[in-house]
Structure 1
């Protein structure tokens, strides 16, 4: 087999579908929506509507959220078709491996590893900040030495709370998805209840004058706001990672993905409308606009409740992302592109990959300052979105795939539009983000050509000879 034939060999569909038979089928549509909401609705819902309204879109931020949801729904529908046609572990990595070939699958997988792990590590530090603030309200203050990343010059050595919360998430997931989903559903309900509480209380303090002018920055500001809040919806793709553990995946996975996006859009728009109605948008460029708005209307007692909602949001996001990244690493190990030890399953759970991911993320969250790396989450996600979007075309043409479930409407226009929008959003990222991502992918290619190229399973489908 030639070099090019080997790196672009496509995984056999039957082999991929049957590879995960050891995993337990426990998850329902309700579980998937809980996972999706857990990933998508985090602290951003308490921050983005205010700051983006103040700096970019004005009260028209609600339209920005709707536009971003429309764009995101294009990629969501592509994910829904892939998950219906190929209910396999690994999400976009596995899809790329089957329709584009091994090297493309590896690049997508490497991008997703970056997205998931950095996202969890950064959120764990945010959770630690909220938790410390909550403790200080009761007069309890954590020692400085265990309250920040490793920086001896400023007296901090480890962010202990960030480490412990990630280890707690890993321990929960190691007990199986049934237990984890009970916690996840409970946390999601708490989070949604607190959002509804804010909307329900805030609506009585709306002053329509605060919505004028509605588009102070013009339609350009609305579009700029849409490109910014687009990233608020990232995370629904994690739902597709659960494919081999889902009951009736052809029906359940599309419902989970699209249901997540619909619910998230309703919640984001509701918060944006109420928040900009309560307080003039020019005053909302603060770190905690929702709490600030409650202070302005003399409802400070609700600010503490909002903090609990933020912590619940961060916890469910970490749960979803650690779960998704562990299934991704499991799938890559299963296929031989990483050591097969990562692909081992015991008691119907891939706990080897789970604990490696958990420990790496805990170390990152506890010791490494992540401020400059968070933008890499966006590029990892958009690369996966772009490949999944354009991948619908070879998926439809694949001779071994007969999808009787969800299919993207408006084919091929919708997948192509989704692909173009992903490229446009990627073009908006900074040079520093592209430079750091270049280093990450260079490391990934070194790993692929020194290990994965030689150890990738020979069960992959061979290209037809002309």
Structure 2
């Protein structure tokens, strides 16, 4: 049994897959990568999580939380860059761990990333709902409170969140494809909305609102970092583009670090504006803090405009994450760890059953859970995935030093170890209920693996052909 659990996908098989995909055009430079990263990172983290984290975790000191979370992401991002340049195939961190650490670790990370993508999609949908409701209210259209409040908070369901996930699922099933040009346009729209917000509220900032700066102490800053870590999710999309990057050794780190620097700067400025125009406590339970801040200073038309921009960005987030998770399920199914039906594609080239599976889970989560709980669930799965990706860098450096690497993490093993330490530090800041939910999620995942994956894994077939 131990040999089965620790079996690895042969490196030759992985590199053969890379050669088959070598027809991809290397058309992305540092600018396109930075735009891709900013497009994925800037979204629900800024438009949704900032208010809740400031109110309940760190107050104005949330800017320090963003810096700490950004540092953890920077170290993990460098590890992603190296592995993506060496193993540029579908599956991302799931495949990296499968090759470097063994099947059970690959499954565990795949299960963690599933938690990340599905839960992040649900959180974005909840944020989308809040901004949509804000626009409707400005138009004097009021939805029943029971239909815009999650079940755990006393409502029936968050209907707008369910609707947006369902629409995006239908678009995925239809076979919609997004181009880099469209992504750039959406990024500029989102950046324009953010800059407009900063300009509109800057003159309304009251320095007295920054006192106390650390109302919850340093423990609040650390706890806030564990929450706002959610705001940085998505930079691994850059690592997934390694095979389409010109001169990846130079452009990959530029794109990854560049997007993180831009995102961190914007997060800090927006947080300063939010906590400057109103006391941090007013954002408690508010899922649309940017629009709420504008309402607080009486700029209702600005609130509507920001809500429209936020909705555009959040819509893209739901669509991309739904697609990413369905492709991850497709990859795991193709490797035999999930039922083969999930790897079947339609005539439009879409893994229909995988999309439907993600849709069902996302609708349940978005309809019944509050935004704070969703964000924490997302973070704990991602932090463990980042931890093992960092471990994989060290292991593959030792086990396969000959592996071609277009980009190498500097100062190995120091940076991967720092990444691991920061991930552990952040994950222990999450509350007990989040840990309980994660343990239950892991138990469910391991039950599926031992009941199905171990018996049907294709790794043994690849090994037998060696």
Q: TM-score, normalised by structure 1?
A: 0.84
Aligned position for 1:195: 194
Mapping for residues 119-130 of structure 1, pairs under 5 Å: 119-130=120-131
Q: How far 1:272 moved relative to its partner? A: 2.2
- Report if the CA contact (8 A) 2:78-2:409 is conserved: yes
Report the Cα offset of residue 259 of structure 1.
Answer: 3.2
Offset at 1:448?
Answer: 1.4
* Cross-structure match for 1:7: 5
- Matched with 1:16 is 14
Alpha-carbon offset, residue 115 of structure 1: 1.8
**Following TM superposition, by how much is the alpha carbon of 1:212 offset from its aligned partner in structure 2, in angstroms?**
5.8
After superposition, the CA RMSD in angstroms is 3.6
Secondary structure of 1:409's counterpart equals coil
With 378-387 and 30-39 compared, the bigger mean Cα shift is at 30-39
Deviation larger for 106-115 or 124-133: 124-133
Shift of residue 460, structure 1, vs aligned partner:
4.1
Mean Cα deviation higher: 386-395 or 361-370:
361-370
1:259 aligns with 2:255: no
Q: Residue 194 of structure 1: SS of its match in structure 2? A: helix
User: Where in structure 2 are the equivalents of 1:377-388 lying within 5 Å?
Assistant: 377-388=378-389
Separation (CA, whole Å) in 2 of partners of 1:53 and 1:163: 27
Any unmatched runs of 5+ in structure 1?
Answer: none
**Aligned-residue offset at 1:290:** 3.4
Asked if the contact 2:226–2:427 (Cα under 8 Å) also holds between the matched residues in 1, the reply is: no
Contact 2:322-2:355 within 8 A present in 1 as well: no
Counterpart-to-counterpart distance in 2, 1:420 and 1:278? 36
Aligned counterparts of 2:171 and 2:41: Cα–Cα separation in 1: 20
8 Å CA contact 2:147–2:158 kept in 1: the answer is: yes
TM-score, normalised on structure 2? 0.84
Secondary structure, aligned partner of 2:338: coil
Distance 1:247 1:176, change over 3 A: farther
Q: Evaluate the alpha carbon distance shift between residue 448 and residue 215 of structure 1 in structure 2; reply closer, same or farther with a 3 A threshold.
A: closer
Residue in 2 that maps onto 1:436: 437
Higher mean Cα deviation, 104-113 or 299-308? 299-308
**How many angstroms does 1:255 deviate by?**
4.5
C-alpha separation between the residues in 2 aligned to 1:370 and 1:279?
23
Change (3 A) 1:111 1:138: same
Mean Cα displacement is larger for which, 44-53 or 188-197?
44-53
Structure 2 partner of 1:237 = 236
Alignment map for 1:158-173 (pairs within 5 Å): 161-173=160-172
The offset of 1:51, in angstroms, is 4.9
**Unmatched 5+ stretches in structure 2:** none
Aligned residue pairs total 457
Q: Mean Cα displacement is larger for which, 196-205 or 355-364? A: 355-364
Larger deviation: 128-137 or 69-78?
128-137
Distance 2:240 2:113 in 1: 11
Q: 1:103: how far off? A: 0.9
Structure 1 range deviating more: 96-105 or 354-363: 354-363
SS of the aligned residue for 1:19 comes to helix
- CA drift at 1:383: 1.1
**Change in CA separation of 1:103 and 1:201 when aligned onto 2, cut-off 3 Å:** same
Kept in 1, the 8 Å contact 2:122–2:374? The answer is no
SS at match of 1:89: coil
Counterpart of 2:394 in structure 1 is 393
